[in-house]
């Protein structure tokens, strides 16, 4: 059982900056914290390569433990205002699209106060039927329900009203008439004892009571979409409800409009705007999904920017999470002489430990080495708290190994409030589009499975073993600072799996390579998916997987355009920029059981490539060993393709062999399923080790394999995979430029 967890408020810091650590314990009264430099995080007992160097830090010591809660669930909150307090008669209405109507009470719109009960609440009740609840301010509660559950994933026009003169509650639910389902209208009325305004915040998709620190805590969260919510002073009949609901701008309707929220506005931010007379604006909590199809989506346009009136819905989830909001337990002010690298606050209690990882860059505008290791932090976030293996029926067949549970996996299953990765599904079956680093991330640390972050520490261990000086920079730094960050360095080195790239990151990398930049891509399946980041949500990554590629989940049709930027999501290949056109190779196959090895090609004897193979025999098999499938070419592998942009002068200096029948060509490489697609039958299943020079005097070296890094530590980092990697870095750090053929 996990007894302690934490996270940092910042992942990338420079000397003189601070990083705050937020910690929660589970049953322990005290814990210890100290600082380590992460050199290699692989703690497999047979490998004997774990290296976490202790570092003196002022915060090292013992701290009182406490449990800090996480309040997951998205909603929107409008601050209390006089316009709400003046209500007597009223009508609430909206278009809603419930995705789990049977899960229990779910609030659609409310301004409610308990003890004594006051205000109103439009909700789905225990049966999934529309209900309106009213409080009289003296403890009396009245409620009316249609008694008929709403159908899952169908649009309804819902309304609830209170007539003060007759003290009557009324509700109605009308399905949108675009379905073949035999759905019918439902309505009901009931007497009420009275109504008292709540004088609290108005909420969408949840009740959001204030915690002791004033932070809203959502409960009774709604799963589904809400579009065009309206609040009217007075009781509307069916015709009036229909007219207000149909109008994009309800100010033209002959009614006493209190608020008309337009969720199509401010997409990409946490703002919700009221276009009614009282400007009752509000904010979302925990990053619900926007840029979503509304009730009136026609399919004519696919971009929310081009048809905003048809993208007026927000999709709320009861397991959305952006910022855990924990209090800071201790801080670390990075000293001026701390070496750039990967560090972690180590938290220990009662036989359990956790690591809170962060990255220390060199001082602003400076470098301390000619080489930069570019940490794939955007990819780390995309995989954060990855749980796909534990919910996918065919995961073991896909991954070709038995699923094993670690303590962290069990903890995440017991605590869904810690949030999901972009590979997972929400509780309502919709794909997770957003992941954030502002929460404990259990798989972004040393001593975790060697995938993504921890796999990259094999490369860090090799750099340290070979005495190669390096600075650490991160994807987020690249996204924010652009090519200037890279251009300070003679060469840049990637990790094993730089999969997710924003447009600013891709533009910066291409600019660097258009000059004198040298890039060593020591991984596979890199530069694949366009994703997005936003100043409105620092630390969050958005991903929408369009029609093609290896998709662990499908995207909602019509919602392929990213909320943060308005860009079309999906594969960079389908956006006209395949990875072959950037680093010479792109993903062709995936297989997780056995890895292959490389053999030199005729191109390897070209004088241009001589430096790569210094000390490597003519017929020497390269990488028939390693900690990931026992070989250097595996997991996810890349090959050249001139049609996709591999430069004509690129040298394929080695190609892999020995792949298994479980290593299969990826979907974006095939047009039909009935072709030879596996590593035994198809010669296309291979990784191509590639080298080419760039017009500005730079160069690119690519190995095209995630497993390459896991072969570096073999035999104490003394092997031909490590030798080739060292040869490349040594040449890339020389002053002499490269000249193409």
- Whether the pLDDT of residue 254 is over 80: the answer is no
- Whether the pLDDT of residue 47 is over 80: the answer is yes
Per-residue pLDDT at 676: 66
- Taking each helix axis from N to C end, the angle separating 453-465 and 720-732, rounded to the nearest 10 degrees, works out to 80
Residues 6+ apart with CB under 8 A from 723: 614, 615, 616
Q: Which of 107-111, 177-181, 459-463, 585-589 has the lowest mean pLDDT?
A: 177-181
- Whether the pLDDT of residue 537 is over 90: the answer is yes
pLDDT bracket for residue 466 (50, 70, 90): very high
Per-residue pLDDT at 210: 78
List the structure tokens of 393.
């029926």
Give the integer Cα–Cα distance in Å for 344 and 357.
Answer: 4
pLDDT bracket for residue 674 (50, 70, 90): low
Give the integer Cα–Cα distance in Å for 120 and 314.
Answer: 22
Give the integer Cα–Cα distance in Å for 268 and 161.
Answer: 32
Contact 150, 131 (CB under 8 A): no
Give the integer Cα–Cα distance in Å for 149 and 153.
Answer: 12
- Whether the pLDDT of residue 296 is over 90: the answer is yes
pLDDT in tens, 186-211: 999 999 999 999 999 999 999 988 77
Domains of the chain by range and CATH? 4-67+327-360 (2.60.40.1930), 75-316 (2.60.120.200), 452-464+471-527+576-732 (3.40.50)
Task: Enumerate the β-bridge partners of residue 699.
Answer: 518, 693
Nearest to 686 by CA among 721, 728, 652, 649: 652
As a whole number, mean pLDDT of residues 48-61 equals 98
List the structure tokens of 253.
């309707």
Contact 487, 481 (CB under 8 A): no
pLDDT bracket for residue 468 (50, 70, 90): very high
What DSSP designation does 475 have? H
In this prediction the pTM is: 0.96
**Burial status of residue 606 (CB atoms within 10 A of its CB: 0-12, 13-18, 19 or more):** middle
Per-residue pLDDT at 122: 98
Per-residue pLDDT at 212: 72
pLDDT bracket for residue 679 (50, 70, 90): low
Per-residue pLDDT at 420: 96
Contact 197, 119 (CB under 8 A): yes
Nearest to 198 by CA among 257, 278, 274, 116: 116
pLDDT bracket for residue 410 (50, 70, 90): confident
For residue 52, the SS3 value is strand
Give the integer Cα–Cα distance in Å for 589 and 636.
Answer: 6
Question: Whole-number mean pLDDT of the chain?
Answer: 95
CA atoms within 13 A on the CB side of 510: 14
List the structure tokens of 5.
């967890």
List the structure tokens of 63.
């701290």
Contact 11, 437 (CB under 8 A): yes
pLDDT bracket for residue 293 (50, 70, 90): very high
Give the integer Cα–Cα distance in Å for 381 and 374.
Answer: 15
pLDDT in tens, 351-397: 999 999 999 999 999 999 999 999 999 999 999 999 887 777 776 77
Beta strands in 137-206 (DSSP E): 141-149, 156-163, 168-175, 186-191, 202-204
List the structure tokens of 667.
């979907």
Give the integer Cα–Cα distance in Å for 677 and 194.
Answer: 70
pLDDT bracket for residue 582 (50, 70, 90): very high
- Whether the pLDDT of residue 737 is over 80: the answer is yes
- Whether the pLDDT of residue 671 is over 90: the answer is no
pLDDT bracket for residue 677 (50, 70, 90): confident
pLDDT in tens, 257-285: 999 999 999 999 999 999 999 999 999 99
Give the integer Cα–Cα distance in Å for 588 and 573.
Answer: 12
Task: Enumerate the β-bridge partners of residue 121.
Answer: 110, 133
Q: What are phi and psi of 411, to 5 degrees?
A: -60, -45
Give the integer Cα–Cα distance in Å for 169 and 182.
Answer: 27
List the structure tokens of 435.
């992941």
Q: What are phi and psi of 152, to 5 degrees?
A: -75, 135
As a whole number, mean pLDDT of residues 571-589 equals 97
């Amino acid at each position: 059982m996990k007894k302690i967890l934490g996270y940092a408020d910042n992942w990338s810091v420079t000397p003189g900056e601070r990083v705050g650590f937020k910690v929660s314990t589970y049953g322990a009264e005290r814990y210890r914290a100290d600082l380590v430099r992460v050199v290699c995080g692989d703690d497999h007992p047979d490998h004997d390569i774990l290296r976490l160097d202790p570092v003196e830090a002022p915060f090292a010591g013992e701290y009182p433990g406490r449990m800090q809660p996480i309040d997951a669930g998205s909603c929107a909150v409008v601050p209390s205002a006089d316009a709400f307090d003046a209500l007597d008669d009223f009508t609430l209405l909206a278009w809603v699209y419930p995705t789990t109507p049977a899960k229990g009470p779910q609030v659609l719109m409310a301004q409610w106060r308990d003890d004594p009960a006051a205000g109103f609440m439009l909700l789905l009740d225990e049966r999934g039927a529309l209900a309106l609840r009213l409080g009289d301010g003296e403890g009396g509660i009245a409620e009316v329900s249609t008694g008929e559950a709403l159908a899952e994933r169908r649009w309804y026009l819902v309304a609830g009203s209170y007539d003060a003169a007759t003290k009557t509650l009324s509700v109605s639910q009308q399905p949108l008439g675009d379905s073949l389902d035999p759905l019918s209208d439902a309505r009901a009325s009931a007497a009420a004892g009275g109504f008292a305004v709540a004088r609290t915040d108005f909420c969408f998709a949840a009740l959001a009571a204030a915690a002791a620190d004033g932070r809203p805590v959502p409960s009774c969260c709604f799963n589904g979409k809400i579009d065009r919510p309206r609040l009217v002073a007075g009781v509307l009949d069916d015709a009036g409800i229909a007219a207000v609901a149909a109008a994009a701008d309800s100010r033209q309707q002959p009614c006493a409009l209190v608020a008309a929220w337009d969720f199509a506005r401010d997409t990409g931010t946490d703002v919700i705007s009221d276009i009614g007379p009282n400007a009752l604006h509000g904010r979302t909590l925990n990053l619900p999904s926007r840029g979503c199809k509304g009730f009136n989506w026609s399919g004519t346009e696919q971009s929310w920017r081009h048809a905003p009136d048809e993208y007026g819905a927000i999709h709320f989830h009861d397991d959305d999470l952006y910022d855990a909001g924990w209090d800071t337990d201790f801080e670390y002010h990075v000293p001026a002489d701390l070496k750039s690298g990967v560090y972690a606050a180590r938290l220990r209690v009662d036989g359990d430990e956790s690591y809170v990882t962060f990255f220390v860059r060199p001082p602003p505008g400076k470098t301390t080495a000619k080489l930069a290791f570019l940490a794939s932090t955007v990819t780390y976030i995309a995989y954060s708290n990855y749980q796909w293996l534990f919910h996918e029926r065919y995961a073991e067949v896909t991954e070709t190994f038995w699923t094993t549970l670690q303590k962290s996996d069990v903890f995440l299953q017991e605590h869904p409030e810690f949030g999901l990765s972009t590979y997972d599904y929400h509780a309502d079956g919709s794909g997770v589009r957003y992941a954030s680093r502002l929460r404990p991330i259990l798989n972004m640390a040393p001593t975790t499975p060697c995938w993504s972050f921890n796999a990259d520490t094999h490369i860090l261990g090799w750099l340290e073993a070979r005495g190669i000086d390096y600075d650490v920079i991160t994807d987020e730094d690249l996204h924010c600072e652009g090519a200037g960050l890279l251009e300070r360095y003679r060469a840049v080195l990637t990790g094993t799996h730089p999969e997710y790239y924003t447009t600013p990151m891709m533009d910066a990398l291409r600019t660097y390579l258009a000059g004198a930049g040298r890039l060593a891509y020591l991984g596979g399946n890199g530069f694949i998916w366009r994703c997005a980041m936003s100043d409105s949500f620092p630390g969050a990554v958005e991903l929408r997987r369009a029609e093609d590629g290896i998709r662990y989940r499908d995207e909602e049709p019509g919602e392929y355009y990213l909320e943060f930027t308005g860009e079309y999501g999906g594969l960079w290949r389908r956006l006209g920029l395949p990875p072959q056109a950037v680093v010479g190779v792109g993903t062709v196959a995936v297989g997780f059981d056995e890895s292959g090895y490389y053999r030199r090609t005729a191109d390897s004897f070209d004088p241009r490539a001589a430096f790569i193979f210094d000390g490597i025999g003519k017929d020497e098999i390269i990488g028939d060993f390693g900690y990931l499938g026992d070989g250097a070419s595996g997991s996810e592998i890349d090959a050249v393709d001139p049609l996709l942009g591999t430069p004509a002068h690129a040298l394929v200096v080695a190609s892999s062999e020995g792949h298994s029948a479980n290593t299969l060509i990826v979907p974006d490489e095939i047009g039909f399923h009935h072709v030879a697609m596996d590593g035994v039958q198809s010669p296309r299943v291979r990784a191509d080790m590639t080298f080419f020079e760039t017009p500005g005097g730079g160069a690119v070296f690519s190995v095209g394999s995630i497993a390459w890094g896991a072969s570096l530590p073999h035999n104490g980092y003394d092997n031909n995979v490590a030798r080739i990697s060292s040869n490349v870095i040594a040449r890339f750090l020389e002053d002499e430029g490269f000249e193409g053929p």
